[in-house]
Structure formats: structure tokens, C-alpha cells
Structure 1
Amino acid sequence: MSQTISVASRGSVRATFVAAYSAVTLAQITNALPGALSGTFAVEFHTSGAGLTWIAGMFLMGIVVFELSWGLLGDMFGRRKLLYVGAAVSVIGSVMAAMAPSTGVMIVAQAIGGIGAGILFPISLSMIAAITPDHRARAKVIATWAGFLSLGAVISPVLAGFTAQFFTVPGGGPGASNAFSGWRAAYLIAAAGAVVVLLIAVRAKDSAAAEGRKLDMPGQLTLAVGLIAVLYATVTAVDAGFGSAQVIASYIAGGILLIAFIIIESRTAQPLIHLSLFKNSSYSITGIVAVTGMFAFLAICFSTSVAVSGLALAETWKVGVLFVFIQGPAFAFIPVVGWLIHHVAPRWVLTAGFAFMAVSGFWLSTFALGTPETFGGTPWTAFIPPLLVLGVGFALTVGSVTAVAINTVPAQQIGMASATTNLLRDLGFALGPVIGSAIAFGIGATVFAGPLAGILGAAGMPADAVAGLAHVPPLGFLSGWDGIVAQFSGQAAGGGAPAPAVDGMVKALAAAKPRIQGVAGTSLGEGFQTVYLCAGVAATLSAVLTLFISARSSAPTADAITETTEASAEAAV
């Protein structure tokens, strides 16, 4: 709090505000696009469950693993320079996503885009805070910044749905005549927006606060690599299973690195995270619910995108509409939530928000999933009421979780408590699609195995052919049928099967296709029903845990109100 902030005399104050507000809107648009497009990615790239999880989770991991360092680097070297870097990286990530011909390229594009957004979020906020020294004026400026961030969250699903509806070119597939169609146009628009941010930022004021600042490189490296190792293990388990040697080795490596991170943080003079914060039981509880509550939120978002678009085959614009109901309340309720945080005990606001999220998760878990609406599946409009409940819960929790956290610690720890809680909250966001995928695709594969063997056996396929197809996950039969048939026939011919026998098995597969795909869809539907149920349990646990937070969190201090406004601004997804 006592840092000396230097602000350059050159540059325009107006351009600084415009650049910051544009940057955070752009960052949130690119942040929210994957959530609305997960089901579309499954169809477009014919990806496996693990591939879909990488696409959904990698952007968020790009934000999380360096989240505590970008603001520090801006303090040390100048925030405008970091804004240039963030916008340029966003251009690269968005263009690469628009051009992506395969799952692998899309994953890399998401990682790059996540790093760009991870820079823009804290740097845009610190730029406008630096030129607004008065606390009351700063609170209003940050609230405006929050509005633009939430606006980006509303624009993103609309953009995804609009481009998918009006920019699609018929014919072809990934990398062919569809290369610039539909959702790809949304990423090109985001790239253009990043270029605009770069041009505006040229006239913005620069600022820094380098005095006494030092990057904790050992802590940053062990945290980043440790989290990525754990993510890799969990995603790989989606297809390979948790008993895989590769998965176990990655979990062990990640665990060792994260333990090393804790040891480093306890001994360094300027740590990324002050571990002493967690000696406070109320703060520790808040940290737990920041992870579990936001996991519940994004697990529901991810499951909805895949269930409605990937399994029910609804048009992308319909998924975009559903995500407006999820994201809209966070934008519309900004003044309401701000008033509640300052006039009602924030922990009660937090409890109510998690309760709403729990209702949404349990409600959605009762829906029949996995069957297209044209074949009697759940209508996409049925998702609107429970998702609106989810959106209200998210609006109440995303800011108040940090409000509660910073009011459970001494005044001198407010800044670190806010930053650490934001990290934990964003970690929960990242875990939503990762753990949700592991649950959904794991259960789906287990449920699918028996009926698949029965269908193939009834079709007259020999036992060894049935065994050869038993390892294919249900999503593979839904999004990559032609590839599976080609691989199967090639393996059968390579194994010495005569051509007539291979042709007979391929014909048997083709005849059984409707039944196999129907069972594959309902099997995955059961998996995502379980994810909704788990999300409801996690949100319920979060609501109950907040009841044990100390009552002192109900009285925000003057400094805490400003920090709370800032934290409320960082609504994600």
C-alpha cells in the first residue's frame, strides 16, 4: 500500500481509460469463447474427450499459472509495455485459433490466448488505478472497468452464436472449405479487437512501481510446472484412465513440484503467496470455497456446452443464447451486488450465491441428456431457467468471495489476500472442465462398454473384432465415425483378415451405427448428469462452509471496499 507509483507525464488520460476498458473487454471475450464453443469443437475437430478437455482448460491455465507475476512485471518494467505484449499475444492466439486445422493446434492457440488474456486482466486494471489516486474516484473507475469486463462476458456467447449462424460456408471439413467459417470468424474479430487495443495503447500513459519489487522466479516456475503436470495427468486420465503409468507419474511429479513451491514460498523474502494467510481459519475456508464454488460454476458451463451442442446437436447460436443467461446477471446485477456487499454481511451474500448454484446443478442433473431434440431429447429452451439461476448465483459469489476474504485478514494483508483469492478462484474455474471431463467421459465409457459389446455381438461381429472396438470411447463414435471405421478396417486387413470378411464387418458396423451412436450419446449423457450432480454437491458444500467464516467478515473497512470493488470487477468465464 505504501508503494511509490510513477506515472509518465506523456500520454493521454482518456486514451489510458479507453485502452484499459477495451483490453479487459477483449480479454473476457476470448476467455468466454471456449465455454460457449466446447460442443462445436467436439464436432469440428472429431476430438477425443481428452482433446476437448485440453481445449477447454488450457486457456484458463494460461491465465492461472502466471497470474501473480504479470502485475509484478508491469510494476517493474511499465504497465503500458505489458499491455502491448498482452494485446500482441492475443492477436497471435486468436489468429491461430481461427486457422486451427486440428485439436493440437487449437490447444496451442488456447494456451497462447490464455497468456495474452492473463496479461491484459491485471495490467488494464493497474493502469487505470495508477492514474486515479483518490480512493472514491478509484472505486468508481474500477466499477466501470468491471462493467466492461462483464460486458465482454455477455458479448462473447452472442458473438459465437452470430458468427456460427451467418458466417458458415457449406461443404468441406476442418482445414478445407470450412476453414474460415462459423465460429472461426469470432476469433478473427477478437484478433482485430486486439489490434485496436494496441493502436489505442500507443497514446496511453505509462506507469510503474518498481521500488522494492522482485520476481519470485523459483516460486513461479515450480507453481507453473506443478499445476501443468497435475492438469496433464487429469486430462490424460480422461482417455487413458487413472491407473495409467503416465498419469500416476505426472501426478507424482506435479505433487513434488507443488510441495517444492510451498517450501520456497515459506523461505523467500518476497513470495508470490504469503502462506501465513492460511493460518487464519476464516481465510482458509474462503480459499477452499473459492476453488470448490467456481469449480461448480464452470463444470456446469462446460457440461451445458457439450450436452446441448455436442450431444444434442443444437446450433451454436442456441448455446450462445444459453450463455447469455449465465453471464448476463453478472453484468446486470453489478450495482445490486455492490450494494449488497456494502450493506449486508458479504458472507451471507456468498452463501446465497452458492445456494443458487447448487439448485442449478441439482436441477440440471435431472435432465435427460445425450439425445438430439429432434429425436425426443430435452429441448434447449428447458435449460434456460436453471442456467438463469446459475447466473444469479455466479453474480452473487464472484465478487463477494474476495470481499469476504479480505475482511478476514489484517489491513496490511488485504492486497495479498485479494490476489491469492483471485488465484484460487481462477484455479477453480480451470478445474471445472478438467475434472468435469474426467467424470463425464469416465462414467460414459463405463456405461457404454456393455451395450456396445451387445450391439456388435448381435450384429454378428466376431469376438476379436468386438474387443478391437471396445477401447473406443463413446465420443469417438459420435464425432469421428469415419475415422474409426477406416482405422478398424485397416487393422483388420493388416491382421490377416480376408477382404470379404473385412467388408462384412464394415457393413455390420454401418448397419449398427444408429444404435451405437444412440447408446453413445445416452452414455455420455449419464456422465454429464453426474457432473451436474457433483457440481451441485460442491456448491452445497461451499454454501455450508461459508457459515463457519468469522462474523468479522461482515464489516468492510474503507480500504477493503476499494479492494472489494476491484475484486468484483474480475468476474471470469
Structure 2
Amino acid sequence: MTNVEAVHAAPAAGGSRRAWLGLAVLVLPVLLVSMDMSVLFLTLPTLTVDLDPSAAEQLWILDIYGFLIAGLLITMGNLGDRIGRRRILLAGAVVFGIASVLAAFAPSAGVLIAARALMGIGGATLLPSSLSLITTLFPDARQRATAIGVWTAFFAGGSAVGPIIGGVLLHHFWWGSVFLINVPVLLVLLVFGWTLLPEHRSIALGPLDLPSVALSIGGILPVVYAVKHAAEYGIDAVTVVSALVGGALLTFFVRRQRRIGEPLLDLRLFGNGPFSVAIGSSLAGMMSLAGLSYLSSIYLQSVTGRDPLAAALLGIPMAVTVFVFSMTGSRVAQWLGVRGAFASALVAAAIGNLMLLGIGVDGGVGWYVAGSALAGAGYGIVFTLVSEVAVSSVPPERAGSAVGISETSFELGNALGLALLGSLAAVIFRSGGDFAPTIGETVHLAQDDPALVHAARESFVGGMHVATTVGAAVLLVMAVVVLVGLPRRSRSAGHVSAEHV
């Protein structure tokens, strides 16, 4: 189980200057991938003016990136275990860079959707390989926990800082600049990745099981699409067929994983209680965070009338708390225990979401700033503990697979948050009156009708209240699951997960 080949590994022990420089390189793609989940939240109103996408195309521009990452992470994590984690990391960086250029200069909504899909394929190679390489750079458990905290801070912080960077760029440049910013960062990764990062692959694992790859991708994507379609259009033939096809393929996938000797998805990991709870926490956390970030970005621009830069500045408190508490999540777990830290963080994030009930058409922005900052603290702790459990609960040769599972839950949660909570808010918005499909279009088309604009803004705020309340309820339910499913005694993520493997 430990036949792992390290090629051109960092010559010094984990924790050396070279290892920390390697970590600095590894967080670059993580920052970009997570940032590109949310950078379009503020960009979408401006982009809509140039490309004129339909309401459905707007959702696809946002969703397709996360959908493809979710569908491919498990496969790419396993592929990296076999062909080399550094190799697939750098190959993914090239794909991500090319796709970013295509997105920046997309002449139509269809081309932008295709470019975002290609970015999703590249992004799926970057996340699992970067996190699993940390186990090679930092063999010492304490230093590895610190390194994972840094990695998670950039992952969670990237999602929070994406709208801020987007707002700053939009203030000075055109909307394509939010994609072009990826290129110089990826060039730094390609230049220094060859020298600072160790190559790492398993020699114990056989060839990738291609039928499992096809079944996993073919199952995940239709199920996610069915959820998205049902939330937007209700349960119709498309929803039912997509759900049935996806469900059948996932059933075949699970059965195959139980039969073959080297499964793509090691189902035994879900027998580990802390690992399963961590995966559920990341799913709930990202789902509510995506809904909160997306809806608040629209609220700050289309309801309060702020420009992208002003809206972005109001997101700084949440970005700061996400980053800071991601860095300190391990210390919180040592103080409260993993069970207490997980539950407390989920409750804090839920309260932060509920504080957004204080926002309105004519005021209440302070409630958003305070609530989002509190939620950010909870999200930061949750995401750090998820990453620590995912890495520490498996032997080294399965690290890529485990990371693929945990990152799939992040991406799936992000996609579901946009699809479910975003669509729930949209349904309530459209039921409030005879408005255009989106609040931005209504405000643009009805500038000479203040009463209609005010009614549309009130309807959007009502939908946002409902959506963020649902997100808070999901977080509170997950907090109860944590209290029931995790043991009381463990004081560290590595300990609690290792006990149950």
C-alpha cells in the first residue's frame, strides 16, 4: 500500500525553505481556480451588456465551470496518482491558460460558455494535484497541517476575493480582463513548478479504469443538470429523464467500484465517519457560500445601485475573515476539538446568512457587511478542517483520490448553490410582478418607471431573503449531523480521521 515513487523530490526535509517556496507555487493555481468560481458574480451585469446572453445562458456561463470541475475531479485525482501529480498540474495549467484567453476575447455567449467549460477541465487537474503534493513536501504532520491551512486559505479566500478583484478590474478595464489576469500567474507556475515541486506518483496502482471514468462523468453531470433544470423550470420531462439517466449511471458506477480491485472511487473512505461528515460539511458550506456571494453581488449593484468597484469593496470583510480563519482553523480544532470546531463554524456561518434578513431596498447594507464577515469566519474553519481530514485519512498512494472526493464536494456544492439557491431567488423574484427575466435587465429597461424598478428590487430582496435562509437551514442541519456523527475525544483532524480509517 505504500509503493509510491517520488521523482525529483525536494532535496531537503519538509518544512525547509524549498518546501515553503513549493507551497507558494502550489497556492497559485488554487487561488485562480477558486477565484474563477466567483469572479463573474460582479462581472455578469457588465458582460450582459456586450454579449446579450439569455437568462439561461447567464446561468450556464456561471454553472458550466463548476459542473465540469465537479464531474472530473475524482478522475483527475486518480490520474495524477498514476502519471505524476506535478505533470498533470502543469498540463492543467496550460489548458487553463489557453481557455482563459479564449474567454477573455469571446465574441458571443456561446463561445464564452465553451471557454468556461475548457477552464473547468483544466481546473479539475489543478486542485487535487496541488493539495496532494503537500503530503510530499511536508511529511511532518504539524507542518503539513499548517501548509494545508495556507492552501485552504487561498482556496476559500480566492472564492471570496474573486468579486473584489473583478470589481477593481472592471473599474479600469473591460470584462475580459478578469480572465486575462490568470495568464501571468500561470506562467509563474509553469516556470517555477518544474524546479520547486517534486514529482510524485504511485507505482502500486494499475491503469485507470476507463469505464469507471465514463460512468462517473456520465452520472454526475446529468444529475447536477437535473437539479439545476428543476430549480429553474420545475419538474418536467427534461428533469425526469436527466435525473433517471444520471442516477442509473451512478448506480452502475457504485456497483463497479465495489467489484474491481483498484476502484476510481474508494468507497471504503465513506466508512470513515469523520471523512463522511467532512464531505457533507464542505457540500453544505460551499452551497450556502455560493448562493450568498452570487445574490449579494447582484444586490449591491442592481438593488443598491453601486458600481462594481464599490460593491467589491463591501466584500472585503468577508474575504478577510475567510482567509484569516482558514489559516487558524487547525488551532480552533485543537482548542474545541474537531467536533466542536466543525459544529461551531457551521452555526456561525448560518447566523451570518440569517443576518442578511436585515438588508432591504433602501438600507441595511451594514447587515450584509457584518453577516458576511461572520459567515466568512465559519466558512474558513470548515474548509480547513475538510482539507485536513481528506489528506490525513488515507495512505499516500490514495491521496489524490481522497482529495478528488473532497474537492468534488466543494465544486458540487458551488454548482448546487448557484443552481438551487440562485434559481430559488429567481423564481420568487419573477413571481413578484411582470419583470424582465433578471433584476439587472428590469432596472435597465425600466429606468423611466421608478415604481416598477422599486417593485422589482423589493421582489429580488425577498427572493434573496428566502434563499439565504434556506442556506442557513442547510448549515444548521449539518451542524446537528456533526454533533451526532463525530466523536467527542479527538483534538485534531489528523487524529480523528486516522482513528476511523
Task: Select the residue among 82, 88, 93 that pairs with 1:82.
Answer: 88
C-alpha contact 1:89 1:112 (8 A) present in aligned 2: yes
Unaligned runs of 5+ in 1: 168-180, 372-376, 453-471, 482-509, 564-573
Q: Distance in 2 between matches of 1:320 and 1:138?
A: 33
The aligned residue for residue 68 of structure 2 is: 62
Residue deviations 1:7-63 (CA, integer Å, cap 9, x gap) = 227999577555324333333333442344345445554444433322222222232
The aligned residue for residue 96 of structure 1 is: 102
Aligned in 2, Cα 1:197/1:406: closer, same or farther, shift over 3 Å? Answer: closer
* Alpha-carbon offset, residue 339 of structure 1: 1.0
* Alpha-carbon offset, residue 518 of structure 1: 3.8
Q: Distance in 2 between matches of 1:300 and 1:557?
A: 27
The aligned residue for residue 378 of structure 1 is: 363
Q: Whose Rg is larger?
A: 1
Q: Distance in 1 between matches of 2:391 and 2:33?
A: 25
Residue deviations 1:422-458 (CA, integer Å, cap 9, x gap) = 4324322221111112211222222325xx6xxxxxx
* Alpha-carbon offset, residue 261 of structure 1: 1.9
C-alpha contact 1:78 1:206 (8 A) present in aligned 2: no
C-alpha contact 2:45 2:440 (8 A) present in aligned 1: no
Aligned in 2, Cα 1:278/1:80: closer, same or farther, shift over 3 Å? Answer: closer
C-alpha contact 2:287 2:413 (8 A) present in aligned 1: yes
C-alpha contact 1:11 1:203 (8 A) present in aligned 2: no
The reply to whether residue 342 of structure 1 matches residue 327 of structure 2 is no
The aligned residue for residue 183 of structure 2 is: 191
* Alpha-carbon offset, residue 146 of structure 1: 4.3
The reply to whether residue 532 of structure 1 matches residue 468 of structure 2 is yes
Aligned in 2, Cα 1:538/1:39: closer, same or farther, shift over 3 Å? Answer: farther
Q: Distance in 2 between matches of 1:74 and 1:281?
A: 26
Q: Distance in 2 between matches of 1:201 and 1:10?
A: 11
* Alpha-carbon offset, residue 560 of structure 1: 6.4
Q: Distance in 2 between matches of 1:511 and 1:157?
A: 26
Q: Distance in 1 between matches of 2:201 and 2:398?
A: 18
RMSD value over aligned CA atoms? Answer: 3.5
* Alpha-carbon offset, residue 223 of structure 1: 2.0
Q: Distance in 2 between matches of 1:205 and 1:277?
A: 28
- The 5-angstrom pairing of residues 391-402 of structure 1 reads 391-401=376-386
Q: Distance in 1 between matches of 2:280 and 2:222?
A: 21
C-alpha contact 1:11 1:205 (8 A) present in aligned 2: no
The aligned residue for residue 210 of structure 2 is: 217
Aligned in 2, Cα 1:362/1:151: closer, same or farther, shift over 3 Å? Answer: closer
**1:95 alignment partner AA:** V
- The 5-angstrom pairing of residues 410-449 of structure 1 reads 415=399, 419-449=404-434
Determine helix, strand or coil for the equivalent of 1:448: coil
Mean Cα deviation higher: 348-357 or 294-303: 294-303
Task: Select the residue among 353, 356, 360 that pairs with 1:364.
Answer: 356
C-alpha contact 2:65 2:117 (8 A) present in aligned 1: yes
C-alpha contact 1:300 1:532 (8 A) present in aligned 2: yes
- The 5-angstrom pairing of residues 21-420 of structure 1 reads 21-42=27-48, 45-149=51-155, 152-153=158-159, 156-167=162-173, 181=174, 183-213=175-205, 214-237=207-230, 239=232, 241-279=233-271, 284-368=276-360, 371=361, 377-378=362-363, 380-401=365-386, 415=399, 419-420=404-405
Residue deviations 1:100-137 (CA, integer Å, cap 9, x gap) = 23332222222222222222222233445434444455
What is the TM-score when the length of structure 1 is the normalising length?
A: 0.75
Identity %: 24
The aligned residue for residue 15 of structure 2 is: none
**1:544 alignment partner AA:** V
What is the TM-score when the length of structure 2 is the normalising length?
A: 0.85
The aligned residue for residue 175 of structure 1 is: none
Determine helix, strand or coil for the equivalent of 2:300: helix
Aligned in 2, Cα 1:390/1:91: closer, same or farther, shift over 3 Å? Answer: same
**2:295 alignment partner AA:** S
Determine helix, strand or coil for the equivalent of 1:399: helix
C-alpha contact 2:69 2:123 (8 A) present in aligned 1: yes
The aligned residue for residue 173 of structure 1 is: none
C-alpha contact 1:265 1:271 (8 A) present in aligned 2: yes
C-alpha contact 2:85 2:201 (8 A) present in aligned 1: no
* Alpha-carbon offset, residue 97 of structure 1: 2.2
Q: Distance in 2 between matches of 1:138 and 1:405?
A: 12
